[in-house]
């Protein structure tokens, strides 16, 4: 059974809901050990004291805060427990706000936790969950986890609620550090329409079960091959990136590839746009041809009229 990593209560108004926090995610990456290159023995990371010139155990260490160069004050677990904040043992809901997909404040998340209500608080817990779900609201709160107070959000999730810790506003870097243009580049209407069609061709329902860590699977295959003494096959070289000169051509090719991948037909608006563009070009070419033909006819008629005129006689001296 999963082990609760925090225990306390949700507080809003005069309502108290005893809950536990459980990590909602876990890492599935391939882990490695550090080995000595010459004999492949596993390296040991030890805690070393330079003053005593000796290796010490973790039990002989304490937490210290450096308040001046080389000067420390020891902070004990009792000190951390006695921090005069309610959020040490409670999730203090500050306000409720509408849940918005484009809310930048909740995009910079740190960690997700499942909330489990204690038996005595289940009715209040699910009442809060139902109201948040029905009203489309998020509860913004603060809580102390691992010696740090965190800004967090609570949202309904499946048959429980999930608490996600957020970065504080002063922890989020400004986009002013990026090399961005002062004015956005000009987008042609045809380019915008084609981009919309590409996005439409690639739009569908998100099913997380259809996605998996292909890198981890490929790495595991390499490891298995090396254990079996087999040679690993080098992956094909990636194609060199091309300069995006003709954006319209790239969009058209992308739409076709996306449509072919889904086994559907070209979106109606794309076909209409192409048809409209083709008709316009054909009409222009036809008008130019008619104008050129009319000009040639006029020139021929003028030449015939000139030839039909009688020659003028010169006056004698």
Mark whether 112 and 17 lie in a shared domain: yes
Nearest to 145 by CA among 159, 160, 166: 166
In-domain check, residue 299:
no
Mark whether 144 and 22 lie in a shared domain: yes
Report in angstroms the alpha-carbon separations of 10 from 18, 90, 138, 295: 6, 6, 14, 87
Mark whether 193 and 157 lie in a shared domain: no
Residue 196 token pair: 């919309």
Summarize pLDDT for 148-204 with one digit per residue, the tens.
899 999 999 999 999 999 999 888 888 888 898 989 889 899 989 989 988 888 888
Looking up tokens 């020891």 gives: 74
Share of the chain above pLDDT 70, in %: 76
Mark whether 109 and 191 lie in a shared domain: no
pLDDT recorded at residue 132 = 95
pLDDT recorded at residue 193 = 92
Are the C-beta atoms of residues 261 and 203 closer than 8 Å to each other? no
Mark whether 76 and 162 lie in a shared domain: yes
Under the banding of pLDDT at 50, 70 and 90, the label for residue 10 is very high
Q: What is the pTM of this model?
A: 0.65
pLDDT recorded at residue 298 = 56
Torsion of CA 270, 276, 278, 281, to 10 degrees: -140
Summarize pLDDT for 192-234 with one digit per residue, the tens.
998 998 888 888 888 888 888 888 888 888 888 878 887 767 7
User: What distance in Å separates the CA atoms of residue 208 and residue 203, rounded to the nearest whole number?
Assistant: 15
Beta bridge partners of 196: none
Averaged pLDDT score across all residues of the chain: 80
Mark whether 123 and 196 lie in a shared domain: no
Under the banding of pLDDT at 50, 70 and 90, the label for residue 281 is very low
Mark whether 106 and 79 lie in a shared domain: yes
Looking up tokens 């959020």 gives: 87
Asked if residue 237 has pLDDT above 80, the reply is no
Mark whether 124 and 273 lie in a shared domain: no
Looking up tokens 């409720």 gives: 96
In-domain check, residue 21:
yes
Under the banding of pLDDT at 50, 70 and 90, the label for residue 60 is very high
Mark whether 84 and 123 lie in a shared domain: yes
Summarize pLDDT for 91-106 with one digit per residue, the tens.
999 999 998 765 555 5
Task: Work out the average pLDDT over 283-303.
Answer: 55
Under the banding of pLDDT at 50, 70 and 90, the label for residue 69 is very high
- For the chain, what is the domain count? 2
- Per DSSP, helices labelled H in 209-267 are 214-227, 247-262
Q: What CATH number corresponds to the domain at position 95?
A: 2.40.290.10
Where in the sequence is the domain holding 104, given as residue range(s)? 6-26+61-171
Under the banding of pLDDT at 50, 70 and 90, the label for residue 130 is very high
In-domain check, residue 182:
no
pLDDT recorded at residue 277 = 45
pLDDT recorded at residue 297 = 58
In-domain check, residue 276:
yes
pLDDT recorded at residue 24 = 92
Residue, of 172 and 298, whose pLDDT is higher: 172
Mark whether 191 and 142 lie in a shared domain: no
Asked if residue 13 has pLDDT above 80, the reply is yes
Instruction: Give the list of residues 6+ apart from residue 161 with CB closer than 8 angstroms, or none.
Output: 114, 115, 125, 128, 129, 132, 154, 155
In-domain check, residue 215:
no
In-domain check, residue 206:
no
Mark whether 138 and 20 lie in a shared domain: yes
Mark whether 157 and 267 lie in a shared domain: no
Coil, strand or helix at 202: coil
In-domain check, residue 121:
yes
In-domain check, residue 98:
yes
């Amino acid at each position: 059974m999963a082990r609760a990593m925090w225990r306390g209560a949700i507080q809003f108004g005069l309502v108290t809901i005893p809950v536990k926090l459980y990590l909602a995610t876990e890492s599935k990456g391939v882990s490695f050990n550090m080995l000595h290159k010459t004999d492949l023995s596993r390296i040991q990371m030890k805690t070393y004291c330079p003053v005593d010139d000796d290796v010490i155990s973790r039990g002989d260490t304490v937490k210290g805060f450096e308040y001046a160069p080389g000067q420390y004050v020891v902070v004990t677990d009792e000190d951390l427990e006695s921090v005069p904040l309610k959020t040490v043992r409670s999730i203090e809901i500050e306000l409720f706000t509408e849940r918005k997909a484009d809310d930048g404040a909740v995009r910079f998340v740190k960690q997700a936790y499942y909330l489990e209500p204690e038996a005595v608080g289940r009715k209040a817990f699910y009442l809060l969950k139902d109201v948040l779900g029905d009203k489309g609201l998020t509860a913004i709160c603060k809580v102390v986890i691992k010696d740090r107070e965190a800004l967090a959000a609570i949202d309904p999730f499946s048959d429980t609620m999930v608490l996600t810790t957020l970065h504080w506003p002063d922890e989020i870097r400004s986009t002013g550090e990026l090399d961005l243009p002062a004015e956005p580049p000009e987008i042609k209407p045809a380019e915008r329409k084609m981009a919309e069609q590409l996005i439409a061709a690639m739009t569908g329902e998100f099913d997380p079960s259809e996605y998996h860590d292909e890198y981890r699977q490929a790495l595991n295959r390499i490891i298995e091959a090396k254990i079996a003494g087999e040679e690993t096959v080098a992956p094909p070289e990636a194609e060199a990136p091309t300069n995006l000169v003709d954006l319209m051509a790239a969009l058209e090719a992308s739409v076709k590839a996306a449509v072919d991948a889904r086994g559907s037909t070209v979106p109606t608006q794309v076909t209409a746009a192409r048809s409209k563009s083709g008709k316009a070009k054909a009409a222009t070419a036809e008008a130019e041809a008619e104008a050129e033909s009319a000009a040639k006819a006029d020139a021929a008629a003028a030449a015939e009229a000139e030839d039909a005129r009688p020659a003028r006689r010169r006056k004698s001296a």
